[in-house]
Amino acid sequence: MTKELPDDIKRDLERACALHKRATSDYQKCLEFSKLMSDLLARAEDAGCNRLADRIMTILLDCNPKEGSSCEKSTLVGEKMKKF
């Protein structure tokens, strides 16, 4: 049985997907994306959406914002984001 996602989490997932497209070459957007995904992880866990929380955690494991350089794993994270 799949758990229905709360509307606020759905909206923020859509926002995160759009944000990631701009974050690959913008450090501030990258930080914003990482913070949003961290917040979504906590909210998904609190809502009992464990499968979603697991998927978010795998993205966060690959997401490592670095100032002054482009994301080395942007393609990998981007592919995972498309699955949402």
| Nearest C-alpha neighbor of 59 from the set 31, 38, 28, 32 | 38
pLDDT of 77 over the 70 cut = yes
CA dist., res. 71 & res. 17, Å (int): 15
Residue range(s) defining the domain that contains residue 36: 7-82
* pLDDT value, residue 78: 73
**pLDDT (0 to 100) of residue 1:** 35
Dump pLDDT digits (tens) for 25-76.
777 888 898 899 999 999 999 999 999 999 999 999 888 766 765 666 777 7
75, part of any domain: yes
Q: Is residue 1 part of a domain?
A: no
Q: Helices marked H in 1-84 — which ranges?
A: 7-23, 27-46, 50-62, 74-82
Query: How many domains does the chain divide into?
Result: 1
Please name which of 71, 61, 62, 1 lies closest in space to residue 29, comparing C-alpha atoms.
71
pLDDT at position 37 is 93
